[in-house]
């Protein structure tokens, strides 16, 4: 294996100029000797392009012509990275900050692991720098819940070992060229949410390993300890989770438990007074169930 395989980072920006600039600075400060950077700009109007070009002239900017969500938008950058002969494609959120040795530690972890197709760092909350957001993820046996290892735990060394996991958080996921060529790009039907879990599952099913590397560290601004998802997240979480179960042939018991959970939640949010404030989430859940049944993918329609 090359000592410094070519990494191309792909960063999606939508009117997040300051976050993107901070992310790029932390990336460049890694001083990795074989790094390319692609910023995908989703019709920003905040001067992002001009600021990026001025401060980081080495960065390639691709202006997107339509919004295809996390999945479809990032696929544009992933394909561009493959066309530019990347050995590894590092898909990153614009609101993360990397430690100065993140890239070196990620690559060092796979120097003697040719069967590893995905690697990911330890993710911390940006507002609580020693509190874990994700130490890799796993799918639960009962309902295939996507669970972050260590979520909201203070890091006291309990996840200090490299381990194989089921999936890596999409805020910072590095994927090997050969794994992408074999398994394909992100499934654009997902649009947003669960897409990285499905991608990892598909790549694992092709025989690749997914490796969590705690020596590589990042900080993510987008999810805080008291994170409260919007109804849009509820919609995509329901629809896309069912799509994953279908696509990867979940056992019948997983389907039964998942559908029962959703129907029970739908009933509780409809009739119990204490859940009246969940009306928008209830509607989103119901819409997600219906859209799965009728095979409506992509961006959520805004009318029920």
* Mean local confidence (pLDDT), 56-85: 96
* pLDDT of res. 1: 60
Q: What is the pLDDT of residue 166?
A: 97
Least confident residue range of 46-50, 72-76, 225-229: 225-229
- 188 near 72, Cβ under 8 Å? yes
Is a pLDDT exceeding 80 seen at residue 225? no
Among 109-123, 133-147, 171-185, 216-230, the least confident range:
216-230
Judge residue 180's burial from the number of C-beta atoms within 10 Å of its C-beta, 0-12 exposed, 13-18 middle, 19 or more buried: buried
Give the pLDDT confidence score for residue 302 in this predicted structure: 79
Torsion on CA atoms 57, 60, 64, 70, rounded to nearest 10:
-110
Q: CA triplet 271, 147, 23: central angle to 5 degrees?
A: 110
Q: Cα(56)–Cα(290) distance, rounded to whole angstroms?
A: 45
**Mean pLDDT score across all residues of the chain:** 95
Q: Counting every residue, how long is the chain?
A: 304
Residue with tokens 């654009």: 188
Q: Encode 132-150: b = buried (16+ Cβ within 10 Å), e = exposed.
A: bbbbbbbbeeebbebebbb
- For residue 3, pLDDT over 90 is answered with no
How far apart are alpha carbons 304 and 284 in whole angstroms? 8
Does residue 6 have a pLDDT over 60? yes
pLDDT for 122: 98
- pLDDT tens per residue across span 150-194: 999 999 999 999 999 999 999 999 999 999 999 999 999 999 999
Tokens for 269? Answer: 């949010």
Give the Cα-Cα-Cα angle 155, 157, 161 (nearest 5 degrees): 120
Q: Model confidence over 183-213: pLDDT tens digits?
A: 999 999 999 999 999 999 999 999 999 999 9
Q: Is residue 72 within a helix (H) or strand (E), and if so which, with residue range? A: helix 69-83
pLDDT digits (tens, 9 = 90+) for 245-304: 999 999 999 999 999 999 999 999 999 988 888 999 999 999 999 999 999 999 999 754
Mean pLDDT, range 51-59, rounded to an integer: 97
Decide yes or no: CATH 3.90.180.10 for domain 7-220.
no
Rounded CA-CA distance 151/278 in Å is 24
Reported as a pLDDT band with limits 50, 70 and 90, residue 10 is very high
pLDDT at 223 (0 to 100): 81
Burial of residue 4 (CB within 10 Å: 0-12, 13-18, 19+) is middle
Average pLDDT on 67-91 reads: 97
Beta-ladder partners of 92 = 11, 172
């Amino acid at each position: 294996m090359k000592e410094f395989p070519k990494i191309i980072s792909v960063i999606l920006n939508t009117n997040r100029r300051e976050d993107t600039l901070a992310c790029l600075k932390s990336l460049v400060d890694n001083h990795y000797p074989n790094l390319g950077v692609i910023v995908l700009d989703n019709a920003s109007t905040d001067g992002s392009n001009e600021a990026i070009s001025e401060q980081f002239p080495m960065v390639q900017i691709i202006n997107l012509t339509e919004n295809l969500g996390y999945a479809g938008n990032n696929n544009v950058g992933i394909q561009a990275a493959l066309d530019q002969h990347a050995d590894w494609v590092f898909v990153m959120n614009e609101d993360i900050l990397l430690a100065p040795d993140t890239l070196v530690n990620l690559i060092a972890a796979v120097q003697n692991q040719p069967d590893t197709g995905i690697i990911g760092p330890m993710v911390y909350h940006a507002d609580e720098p020693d509190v874990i957001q994700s130490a890799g993820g796993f799918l639960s046996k009962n309902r295939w819940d996507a669970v972050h290892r260590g979520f909201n735990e203070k890091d006291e060394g309990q996840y200090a070992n490299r381990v194989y996991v089921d999936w890596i958080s999409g805020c910072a996921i590095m994927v090997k060229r050969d794994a992408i060529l074999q398994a394909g790009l992100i499934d654009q039907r997902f649009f947003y949410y669960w897409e990285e879990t499905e991608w990892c599952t598909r790549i694992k099913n092709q025989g690749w390993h997914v490796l969590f590397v705690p020596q590589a560290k990042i900080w993510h601004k987008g999810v805080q300890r008291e994170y409260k998802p919007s109804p849009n997240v509820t919609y995509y979480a329901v629809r896309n989770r069912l799509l994953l179960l279908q696509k990867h042939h979940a056992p019948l018991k997983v389907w039964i438990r998942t559908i029962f959970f959703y129907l029970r939640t739908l009933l509780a949010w409809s009739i119990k007074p204490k859940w009246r404030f969940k009306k928008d989430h209830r509607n989103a859940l119901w819409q997600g169930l219906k859209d799965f049944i009728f095979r409506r993918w992509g961006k959520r329609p805004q009318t029920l």
